[in-house]
Structure 1
Amino acid sequence: MTDPRMRLPSMDVQAPIREVLVMEDRAQITRAARLSLPAGRQRLSVAGVTPLCADTTLRCRVRPLEGPRQAVRVLDVRLERRYRLRPARPEAEREIRRNLERLKDEYLAAFDGAMAQARELSLVRQAAEDLGRQVGLRVAAGAFDAGVDQALERLWSRRRELEEALLSAQFEQEDRRLAIRRLQEELRLALAPLSEYSACLVAELSADGAAETEVEWQYQVPCALWRPEYTAELVEGQPPAVRWQAAGRVWQRTGEDWNGVRLRFSTARPSQGAELPLLSDDVLRTRQKSEEERRIIQVESRDEAIAQTGTASPAERDTPPGLYDGGEERVFAVPAPVSVPSDGRPHRFEYDRFEAAAELELACCAELSPFVFLKSLQTNMSALPLLAGPVLLLRGGGTVGRSRIGYVAPSERFALSWGSEDDMVVIREREHETEETAIRHEQVHTFRTRIYLANHAAARRSLRLVERVPVSELKEVAVQIQRDQTAPGFALDDQGLCSWTVELAPGEERRLSLQFEVRHPARVRWNS
């Protein structure tokens, strides 16, 4: 029995790719075509589609255009895949074999020439050594011939020529060897049959009357992804500013070339919800503390990151937290049509830029690094957030390095480091002493930090020096700064960051000190 779909009027349609939405691990493709549909049922076919298309994501939509509006319905949409075994190519095999024989002859000729030059070079070197030895003997005997200099010069000149010729011959040999390897791979592919996969989109439509319509297909494909990257340029004028460029780097090997498409980037990740979470019982047990656990308090030191949050709108700030907070999809559009070939290579496309005023300061955290860094603080002036990603830093017309940023909301302030100042010297020393008081048997830990600063620049420098002081979470553990042993002018915040603003004249040196004590009773065990 004949399939009734085969009797439908068929129409081959050219539906180029109009828009691509690249997500974190795949891409959504949109194809569109303007058609004049007659009345009745029609079968539309779009060739040149990648067979990687996910069938469950295939959608077809029809929009009527000018003229009388007629009802057009989509009856069916599907993807038809085809497989074809391409036979070997005997004509290509003969051509490749001819080129292969020619290259082998050229390789052997280059090899023979290189061997002859190597032998001649060895003889010239031996002759130069013998002549030099004879010259030494004659000079020692007091008999020197002026013509010997010319003979030595000729030998050394010939030696240089042979060395250059031998090096060129070796390079030529390597080029021929690589070309032979490429032709051997082409010959292997020409002799072996190749499997070719192709696919086409098929849509069945029904129109009540003749109509001008636009048919649009949407589907998702794997083997495509994007990642954000940024370029920041520091303008050291009055006032200083930072020029910011946001771009997306795209990789795709879908089998379709995206030519002249509207490209958009999305933070959506459809595969993230493909699997249900694994649930298991979380068994809680209670027990009584031992006598030692009730008597002794265990305390340990840990490093905590200081949390920073972006600025929220008043409406968001007054709304209680919801289930989907933080999961909103973000879309970034490239302003002009672009082309992305299916080659698996990275391609960069800019989608946003802005310029923001910057606050510059020299900062040093000697505990982490013995360098003074130029730091800038600026605001995200874009209406779009900045996603976490690498940043290329430009300063003074050149590249100074690479950095990274985390998520930055619109209107949020964020910091960048622009490299170290080589004319500033920082040396840090740390001492730790422990003693026990005689009466109360308290453990007293004394920490002394000494920092040496020197300005070797020709200009006056102002820098911000930061040190850390522990923050206690227990009333049994007390932390106190010894102000009489600490350099004056420091500021201490709630996070335990102690900072000084230091002014250094050209060639000036400065020494700063910080001393603090950590006290706790004997029943507290501190793993410092």
Structure 2
Amino acid sequence: MSLPITAVTCLEDRAQVERSGTVRLAAGVVRLRVGPVTPLAVDRSLRAELSAPDGDRAGAVAHVVDARVVRAYTPAPPGEPAAGASQLSRDVEELERGVRDTRRQRQRVESRLAVIRQAKADLHRDIVQGAGAGDADPERWADRLDRVDEEAEPRVAELHRLGRRLKDLEEELDEARRALEATEGEPLRLTAYLELVVEAERAGEARLSVVHLVPCALWRPAYRATLAGDRGSVLVETDAFVWQDTGEDWHGVRLSLSTARPTLAASPPRLTEDVLTVRERSAEERRTVEVDLREEEIRTTGGPSPAGADDAVLPGLHDGGEVRVLTAPHPVDVASDRRPHRVRLSSFTAPCRTEDTCAPELSPLVVTTARFTNTAGHVLLAGPVDLLRGSGFTGRGRLEFAGAGAQVRLAFGSEDTFRVVRHVEESRDTAGLTGINQRTVITREVRLFVSRLDASDDTAEREVVVRERVPVSEVSAVEVRLRQDACRPAPDETDADGVVRYTLRLPPGARREITLVYDLTASGAVVGL
């Protein structure tokens, strides 16, 4: 019997396939043969059960005694292609035959030339021996050399012709094989069937369901975000890319997408000894405090991707530590062709707050960012997002993991009407008495020039948020102080992470200058700055 695939749960690197259908059973022990199925079915994952056609388990008429996967190897018959083979397959077979025939002809010609070369070598030896013995016959030798050359000349020409033909056939065969590999798969030589032993209490119909795992299938999330023309809302469409090469096409299946990892074994960590030792600090260690500067990324749920991250590559599944399951709203078709198939999962429109922001230390561009709440009703897994706005496609970004109801931030490309230039000056000085309260003072002055380049008649001002940062000290021996008297203008806000925010309102053609000054003071015992 044939049992179609009705539901598929695609995991991170494999899929769980469910086959179901109605079968008519006779009373007693019945053996069912289901297939053919993909030979990639995992034997230990096979599970089969029978139930009443109406779905009431109490009314089941039979139960499964045994279930197994039986495979058979059937090599392709030699000779001509099968009756249902495509024209491209027949062309490949014909070219392979032409290459074999040409190689045989070239081998025969090479054998004949070898015989002629041997005869010519014997003739040269005869000439040498005759001339040495004083028995010279130049006319006979010239006649024999002419006859040998006449025999060799057409063979050499034929050998060159066969070489050119063989090269052309091999190039054409390689091209045909590449085309065949790109368009068609090799016929299965390994076939598989599911053999079920069923014991029926009475004759009648029953619903058979068979579940098993198959490799060579995976999925990854992908998104499409569109910023409205009034910059007041964002449309987020959640999709999934599904690949599979299981050997069976999925037609009209109920598709579920899970982040579960069934092959990831959970085991407690190995306990090892952790030896702690105490020692006296040396005099040099007591006198000095060693510090250094490090970069630390500020991470928030739904924040942007790190600088330099490759947004074009589909990331691995990140589910926040809990298995998530997404379901396609409609039946889908996924062919076994190793190609990505895009499946629409959901979409939602959320109001957003937009701002034109710039971090001059990272980039001189002013970027439009939107902050909104995830109202999709499910988590947003990490994945690439195509960004669109009124001007069309603006690029591809990365959406980090965001739970239901969490805040999401997306950047929708740069604003070409703004330009930011950054200059940094640093000076170092020493204060206090040597050996008593000597301190090293490092003063940094950051100057920012923000320009609005458009000169339109519209006098409306546009708001730009500029963010700079100052170091944050974690030790009492180093102090960082923002010099409010030297900062022009004064910062609007400074958070605990050292990020300083300026909010500027620029009319067309305007230019603003920002000066940020801070001191980094270290005691005389500090080394490393």
TM-score, structure 1 length as denominator? Answer: 0.75
The structure 2 residue matched to 1:42, chosen from 30, 52, 68, is 30
- How do 1:28-107 residues align onto structure 2 when only pairs under 5 Å count? 28-66=16-54, 69-90=59-80, 96=91, 100=95
Provide the rounded CA distance (Å) in 2 between the counterparts of 1:333 and 1:502: 45
Q: Which amino acid in structure 1 is aligned with residue 480 of structure 2?
A: V
CA contact under 8 A between 2:29 and 2:198: conserved in structure 1? yes
CA contact under 8 A between 2:301 and 2:407: conserved in structure 1? no
What corresponds to 1:453 in structure 2?
450
Q: Which amino acid in structure 1 is aligned with residue 261 of structure 2?
A: R
Provide the rounded CA distance (Å) in 2 between the counterparts of 1:102 and 1:76: 48
Cα distance, 1:441–1:233 mapped onto 2, change above 3 Å? same
Helix, strand or coil for the counterpart of 1:85? coil
Q: Please, which runs of 5 or more residues in structure 1 have no aligned partner?
A: 1-12, 105-174, 311-324
Note the C-alpha offset of 1:286.
Answer: 3.6
Provide the rounded CA distance (Å) in 2 between the counterparts of 1:483 and 1:366: 20
What corresponds to 1:155 in structure 2?
none
Query: Is structure 2 residue 361 aligned with structure 1 residue 367?
Result: yes
| CA shift digits 1:438-492 (9 cap, x unpaired) | 4221010101000011111235221001010111122221111111110234111
Provide the rounded CA distance (Å) in 1 between the counterparts of 2:222 and 2:464: 30
Cα distance, 1:468–1:54 mapped onto 2, change above 3 Å? same
Note the C-alpha offset of 1:235.
Answer: 0.4
CA contact under 8 A between 1:70 and 1:209: conserved in structure 2? no
Cα distance, 1:87–1:187 mapped onto 2, change above 3 Å? farther
Helix, strand or coil for the counterpart of 1:41? strand
Provide the rounded CA distance (Å) in 2 between the counterparts of 1:211 and 1:225: 39
Cα distance, 1:442–1:70 mapped onto 2, change above 3 Å? closer
Provide the rounded CA distance (Å) in 2 between the counterparts of 1:262 and 1:349: 12
Helix, strand or coil for the counterpart of 2:264? helix
What corresponds to 1:160 in structure 2?
none
Helix, strand or coil for the counterpart of 1:24? coil
Cα distance, 1:79–1:514 mapped onto 2, change above 3 Å? same
Q: Which amino acid in structure 1 is aligned with residue 51 of structure 2?
A: R
What corresponds to 2:149 in structure 1?
none
Provide the rounded CA distance (Å) in 2 between the counterparts of 1:475 and 1:95: 81
Provide the rounded CA distance (Å) in 1 between the counterparts of 2:81 and 2:447: 81
Cα distance, 1:179–1:337 mapped onto 2, change above 3 Å? farther
Note the C-alpha offset of 1:181.
Answer: 3.4
CA contact under 8 A between 2:320 and 2:401: conserved in structure 1? no
| CA shift digits 1:297-323 (9 cap, x unpaired) | 11111222223248xxxxxxxxxxxxx
Provide the rounded CA distance (Å) in 2 between the counterparts of 1:434 and 1:46: 82
How many residues of Structure 1 are paired with residues of Structure 2 in the alignment? 426
What corresponds to 1:492 in structure 2?
494
Query: Is structure 2 residue 516 aligned with structure 1 residue 524?
Result: no
Cα distance, 1:376–1:526 mapped onto 2, change above 3 Å? same
Provide the rounded CA distance (Å) in 1 between the counterparts of 2:337 and 2:177: 23
CA contact under 8 A between 2:347 and 2:376: conserved in structure 1? yes
| CA shift digits 1:261-293 (9 cap, x unpaired) | 111110111122278866654444443322211
What corresponds to 2:411 in structure 1?
417
Identity of aligned residues (%): 37
CA contact under 8 A between 1:442 and 1:522: conserved in structure 2? yes
Cα distance, 1:488–1:95 mapped onto 2, change above 3 Å? closer
Cα distance, 1:225–1:209 mapped onto 2, change above 3 Å? same
Note the C-alpha offset of 1:76.
Answer: 0.4
Provide the rounded CA distance (Å) in 2 between the counterparts of 1:351 and 1:185: 35
Provide the rounded CA distance (Å) in 1 between the counterparts of 2:200 and 2:468: 76
What corresponds to 1:396 in structure 2?
390
What corresponds to 1:121 in structure 2?
none
What corresponds to 2:481 in structure 1?
480
What corresponds to 2:336 in structure 1?
342
Provide the rounded CA distance (Å) in 1 between the counterparts of 2:46 and 2:347: 35
What corresponds to 1:253 in structure 2?
245
What corresponds to 1:428 in structure 2?
422
Query: Is structure 2 residue 283 aligned with structure 1 residue 291?
Result: yes
Provide the rounded CA distance (Å) in 1 between the counterparts of 2:188 and 2:450: 70
The structure 1 residue matched to 2:350, chosen from 356, 362, 376, is 356
Provide the rounded CA distance (Å) in 1 between the counterparts of 2:505 and 2:94: 74
CA contact under 8 A between 1:35 and 1:213: conserved in structure 2? yes
CA contact under 8 A between 1:385 and 1:409: conserved in structure 2? yes
Query: Is structure 2 residue 205 aligned with structure 1 residue 203?
Result: no
Cα distance, 1:195–1:57 mapped onto 2, change above 3 Å? closer
Farther-moved stretch of structure 1 (462-471 vs 267-276)? 267-276
Note the C-alpha offset of 1:372.
Answer: 0.6
CA contact under 8 A between 1:64 and 1:211: conserved in structure 2? no
| CA shift digits 1:156-210 (9 cap, x unpaired) | xxxxxxxxxxxxxxxxxxx99975534478999xxxx987101111111111112
Note the C-alpha offset of 1:31.
Answer: 0.2
The structure 1 residue matched to 2:439, chosen from 442, 461, 475, is 442
CA contact under 8 A between 2:60 and 2:206: conserved in structure 1? no
Helix, strand or coil for the counterpart of 2:260? coil
The structure 1 residue matched to 2:15, chosen from 27, 32, 35, is 27
Q: Which amino acid in structure 1 is aligned with residue 408 of structure 2?
A: F
Provide the rounded CA distance (Å) in 2 between the counterparts of 1:43 and 1:281: 58
Provide the rounded CA distance (Å) in 2 between the counterparts of 1:493 and 1:474: 18
What do you get for the CA RMSD once the two structures are aligned? 3.0
Provide the rounded CA distance (Å) in 2 between the counterparts of 1:376 and 1:55: 49
Provide the rounded CA distance (Å) in 2 between the counterparts of 1:221 and 1:194: 19
Cα distance, 1:194–1:99 mapped onto 2, change above 3 Å? closer
Helix, strand or coil for the counterpart of 2:78? coil
CA contact under 8 A between 1:103 and 1:180: conserved in structure 2? no
What corresponds to 2:508 in structure 1?
506
CA contact under 8 A between 2:2 and 2:36: conserved in structure 1? no
